[in-house]
Homo-oligomer: A and B are copies of this chain.
Amino acid sequence: MERFTVTYRIVADDDHDAAARADAIALEDTVEIPRDVVPKGYVEDVILGRVEDVTPTGDAVWSARIAYHIDSVGHDLAQLLNVILGNASILRGVKAVDLTPDAALRARFPGARFGAAGVRALTGRSTGGFVCPVIKPQGTSSDSLAQLCYLTAVAGADIVKEDHGLAGQDAAPFRERVTACAAAVARANAERQEKGDQTQALYFPNISGPAHKIHDNARYARDAGADGLLIIPGLYGFDAMNQLAQDDELDLPIMAHPSHLGPYVLSPDHGYGHGMLFGQLMRLAGADISVFPNHGGRFGFSVEECDAIVADCRDPSGVGPAILPSPGGGMSVERLPDMQRQYGADCVYLLGGSLLRAGDGIGDVIRDMRRALTP
């Protein structure tokens, strides 16, 4: 019987304790009842998680592999996360660090619609890293934000991404802003095309609004001319993103923003491994581009943690096509050569706050970035 497996890092006192904790996870995230009352037959044989292996890996740390059947998941991504780390997320010293999908999981959760290759095709940029300015700050009018879109797009940006904090505040309401920004990027693309440029900028508005209107807002954005969608799975849920990704009518690439997800990775003892959350789970939930804070910026990810994210974004055995990692958070043009050595060409390079410092020279910064990223 085929199953998908999740590997957990478990803090325990000894082998016996580690085995008991693994058994507890297998119960907790499937049947959530004591072992002695698990019904015989289907529930015990199929639904109950099965501990495959518990191995010591360090001082007071064990690695446990638990196999789950797709029947315990059903058809919802939210329930898949319940099985992977729902109630177990509240157990002390339990961290999910790796997911190995089986065929049934891949069939129900196909992952990204476009992937790295698909996004590259949409931009028309055949080689080199992607230049991605971030449009902000909130509090600015729709016209001013649209002007930033125009200036960065006409200078050669590949993706024009809105700040994740642009959420339909009164200073720039969602529909007004998206319409103005999409038109500005379209105007820039027309000018690029006139000059013989084979590439185009893709506009990714931040899809916000009431939770049950997210899908309607995404449709509005597409109709207004958006080329992709930015969404925050840490606030709207991973399946909200997945449903946007799987919508054949929308048919747009998805960029996932890491806001509100910090506590899932910052503790060594809880939540998810960096690669699992920002690589494996983002792919599983349909992201084509996974934004994460680069090391050396104002967030505390290490070089190794960033490498793990990138590896899981690109792992050929992952769910769906390989996707684009997107490091950001206090980046500058000066850091680009180093970043390019680490992340390579299939990467979306974000530039946010420091772009604004350029003022009227904002186009020059984009052109500098473009040059630094062109092989």
Contacts and interface: CB of A to CB of B under 8 A. Distances in A.
6 contacts: A34-B354, A43-B137, A72-B139, A75-B169, A240-B240, A263-B267
Contacts of A258: 87, 90
Contacts of A209: 76
A357 interface: yes
Interface string A66-92: 000001111111110111011111111
A78 B167 contact: yes
Interface in A263-293: 263-264, 266-267, 269-271, 293
Contacts of A266: 90, 92, 267, 269-270
Contacts of A103: none
Nearest to A34: B353
Q: Top 6 nearest A-B pairs by Cβ distance? A: A74-B169, A90-B262, A89-B262, A47-B139, A33-B353, A79-B167
A138 interface: yes
Interface string A87-113: 111111000000000000000000000
A165 to B, nearest CB: 6
A236 interface: yes
Nearest to A267: B267
A214 interface: yes
Interface stretch (A24-32, A190-198, A311-319): A24-32
Given A90-B299, A236-B240, 6 more contacts: A31-B136, A43-B137, A90-B258, A91-B298, A91-B300, A212-B240
A5 interface: no
Interface of A: 24, 28-34, 36-39, 42-43, 46-47, 71-79, 81-83, 85-92, 136-140, 163-165, 167-171, 208-212, 214-215, 232, 234-240, 242-243, 258-264, 266-267, 269-271, 293, 298-300, 352-354, 356-357
Given A90-B293, A90-B299, A139-B71, A259 B82 contact: yes
A29 B214 CA distance: 21
B137 A261 contact: no
A43 B163 CA distance: 15
A81 to B, nearest CB: 6
Given A47-B139, A236-B237, A164 B31 contact: no
Contacts of A47: 137-139, 171
A163 B32 CA distance: 8
B235 A211 contact: no
B243 A352 contact: no
Given A33-B137, A139-B31, A210 B167 contact: no
Interface centre among A29, A235, A260 (most CB of B within 10 A): A260
Contact of A208 (B37, B38, B79, B210): B79
Nearest to A232: B78
Contacts of A73: 167, 169
